[in-house]
Chains A and B, each alone.
Chain A
């Protein structure tokens, strides 16, 4: 074997020359001042709006204010780790989060990093947190129901897949409970061919509240198809600000891949407050209630991303349930009016109803679903068509009856039935009900089968009737479930089954 020793040196030298020296090349700037979760930096001449920038000690930030002299960046980490004169690097990336089914069952922060101690998330894909909402041609009208499992909502304020339905009410009126029940109720969808994946975005809440919710979802088997995005009250305002966008990007993954997803923003009032804090520190001019001028856009661009896609785009959907907390029932405050005008309806929860034992405390008069009607199951539509009106009339008559000593028969009947209707619409927390069972009990009430049942017996009657149907007339429940409709025959079968049960009650 011939070895050309004189060439070895040259070969080695040329190889050494070609070694990639692995030099980090970054566009950098210098921190001019830092405080209140915001850093002002010089340099970074080519930084993009919303681009992630890296500070020392692993602290990341997002460039928001691109000014002539400096760049204002919000910090996602501990601002005490950043000091004047530090170098800040561009990353060239806008803020993005991991997406995909790898996130199911996990609790993550708004940057997509796990906070549940279950190890790293090996997601294969990422999506930018800020994305433009889809245009008109990519969308399709809302036509499939999204069952919440709550009788009061599914019957009178139906929600469709791709809809944005606001849940609004004072503190302690059961807003989060409705969202949690809706998530738990999606479990049944995972036995069908169109499962709904859920994302719960907790903004500015106590960590203990979120931990309680996670435990509840776990015990109900709902975490398997749910991701929790959490920015606690103790997290910096910028994290609370981006949390809904991060969650939305995670939900969009399912939508864009022909699947269905549900996202709960709990709550957007706190996100608006975090945004106000950030904006004031960034020296943006304050407007009404000290919110910046673009606070409407803050929510509109987020909620516009919820949509039902056209068949060409595989018919996926992202349903949004934003939550807004009102102060003393004031729905005409700045943020509530903004979000009411953006969404496709609202579920208004009333403190007096809640305290009066009506739970969920849905105020039927003020609640509305603007597009969900077309997505409602036919059977429910048939029996609940008059429910809303009947209840409204009942409320009016009930108030009137307080002043009248004797009432005519028709009025008395309406009040009797109304009271029973209200009773059957009450529902315990974490006990969502299938649509077939809802149809059976509402059918019984609207047909007057409960009129002669004592008010305090109505709950027992309901439980017994459902058990009776499950044990002896499960075919009727199956038929409602499969066809989603009540034909004449089924109606007769249901009548006889209810009468049969009533005899034994």
Chain B
């Protein structure tokens, strides 16, 4: 466990060292998130990565030929090292740690906006601008729609949640009524 912790830190530091600005952060984040998602959700890829009978060199060559065109070569180099050391299973934790340390280093806030209605581009960019001003940070902006919220929106900035949704207000009222 402790050994894994060291490795996760080492790999995530390596990924983080590739990033010097917000745009680079966005592209590395996207690449790693997609890769984690494919390995996790695609059963063929997952079985191939986990397979003990497949030779490591074979795994490396498959990844290199598949990702050569789409991945920055420095990024691919680190992934290759992970494959060679049979550490590719640590990629989800490495990605999580990479996001955390890089965000702190580059002063980026992770913002998740969940709205009960769809917002147009203008509305979203206006919100992004206001969030930048309010947090004084670069914003890693993620938007989604959830009609179950009934009305209002939720804005999560890192670990702080601002919730003005009707659903939450109704739930709070319910808890108050039953005396919780």
A: which residues have CB within 8 A of B? 21-29, 43-45, 58, 60, 87, 89, 113, 120-121
Other than the given A27-B161, A28-B159, A87-B161, 19 more pairs (CB < 8 A) read A22-B169, A23-B162, A24-B161, A24-B162, A24-B163, A24-B169, A24-B172, A25-B160, A25-B163, A26-B160, A43-B159, A44-B159, A58-B174, A58-B175, A58-B180, A60-B180, A89-B161, A113-B180, A121-B179
Residues in A neighbouring B180, C-beta threshold 8 A: 58, 60, 113
Convert B126-137 into 0s and 1s, putting 1 for each residue whose CB lies closer than 8 angstroms to a CB of A.
000000000000
Residues in B neighbouring A43, C-beta threshold 8 A: 159
CA distance A184 to B164 in the complex (A): 52
How many Å from the CB of A199 to the closest CB on chain B? 20
Known: A58-B175, A113-B180, A120-B179. A24 touches B159 (CB 8 A): no
B168 contacts the other chain (CB 8 A):
yes
Q: In the complex, which residue of chain A has the Cβ closest to the Cβ of B5?
A: A69
The 8 closest A-B pairs by CB, nearest first: A24-B163, A28-B161, A23-B164, A43-B159, A120-B179, A26-B161, A23-B162, A27-B159
Q: What are 21 contact pairs spanning A and B, CB under 8 A? A: A21-B164, A22-B169, A23-B164, A24-B162, A24-B168, A24-B169, A24-B172, A25-B161, A25-B162, A26-B160, A27-B159, A27-B161, A28-B156, A28-B159, A28-B161, A29-B159, A44-B159, A58-B171, A58-B175, A89-B161, A113-B180
Give the residue of A22, A27, A28, A87 whose beta carbon is less than 8 angstroms from that of B164: A22
How many Å from the CB of B115 to the closest CB on chain A? 14
Do A113 and B159 touch across chains, with their CB atoms under 8 A apart? Answer: no
CA distance A158 to B166 in the complex (A): 60
Residues in A neighbouring B163, C-beta threshold 8 A: 23-26
CA distance A28 to B110 in the complex (A): 13
Residues in B neighbouring A121, C-beta threshold 8 A: 179
Interface of B is mostly: mixed
Residues in B neighbouring A25, C-beta threshold 8 A: 160-163
How many Å from the CB of B175 to the closest CB on chain A? 6
B: which residues have CB within 8 A of A? 156, 159-164, 168-169, 171-172, 174-175, 179-180
Q: In the complex, which residue of chain B has the Cβ closest to the Cβ of A26?
A: B161
Residues in B neighbouring A60, C-beta threshold 8 A: 180
Q: In the complex, which residue of chain A has the Cβ closest to the Cβ of B164?
A: A23
CA distance A28 to B156 in the complex (A): 9
CA distance A320 to B180 in the complex (A): 29
CA distance A29 to B160 in the complex (A): 9
How many Å from the CB of B15 to the closest CB on chain A? 18
Residues in B neighbouring A22, C-beta threshold 8 A: 164, 169
How many Å from the CB of B103 to the closest CB on chain A? 13
How many Å from the CB of B94 to the closest CB on chain A? 14
Residues in A neighbouring B168, C-beta threshold 8 A: 24
Q: In the complex, which residue of chain A has the Cβ closest to the Cβ of B96?
A: A42
Do B160 and A27 touch across chains, with their CB atoms under 8 A apart? Answer: yes
Residues in A neighbouring B160, C-beta threshold 8 A: 25-28
Known: A24-B168, A120-B179. A45 touches B161 (CB 8 A): no
Residues in A neighbouring B156, C-beta threshold 8 A: 28
How many Å from the CB of B90 to the closest CB on chain A? 14
CA distance A398 to B36 in the complex (A): 81
CA distance A120 to B176 in the complex (A): 11
Q: In the complex, which residue of chain A has the Cβ closest to the Cβ of B171?
A: A58
Q: In the complex, which residue of chain B has the Cβ closest to the Cβ of A122?
A: B179
Residues in B neighbouring A87, C-beta threshold 8 A: 161
How many Å from the CB of B179 to the closest CB on chain A? 5
How many Å from the CB of B113 to the closest CB on chain A? 13
Q: In the complex, which residue of chain B has the Cβ closest to the Cβ of A89?
A: B161
Residues in A neighbouring B172, C-beta threshold 8 A: 24
CA distance A87 to B167 in the complex (A): 14
Do B179 and A24 touch across chains, with their CB atoms under 8 A apart? Answer: no
Give the residue of B164, B174, B175 whose beta carbon is less than 8 angstroms from that of A24: B164
Q: In the complex, which residue of chain B has the Cβ closest to the Cβ of A87?
A: B161
How many Å from the CB of B144 to the closest CB on chain A? 14
Q: In the complex, which residue of chain A has the Cβ closest to the Cβ of B161?
A: A28
Residues in B neighbouring A45, C-beta threshold 8 A: 159
Q: In the complex, which residue of chain A has the Cβ closest to the Cβ of B153?
A: A23
CA distance A21 to B152 in the complex (A): 11
Residues in B neighbouring A120, C-beta threshold 8 A: 179
CA distance A28 to B161 in the complex (A): 6
Q: In the complex, which residue of chain B has the Cβ closest to the Cβ of A69?
A: B5
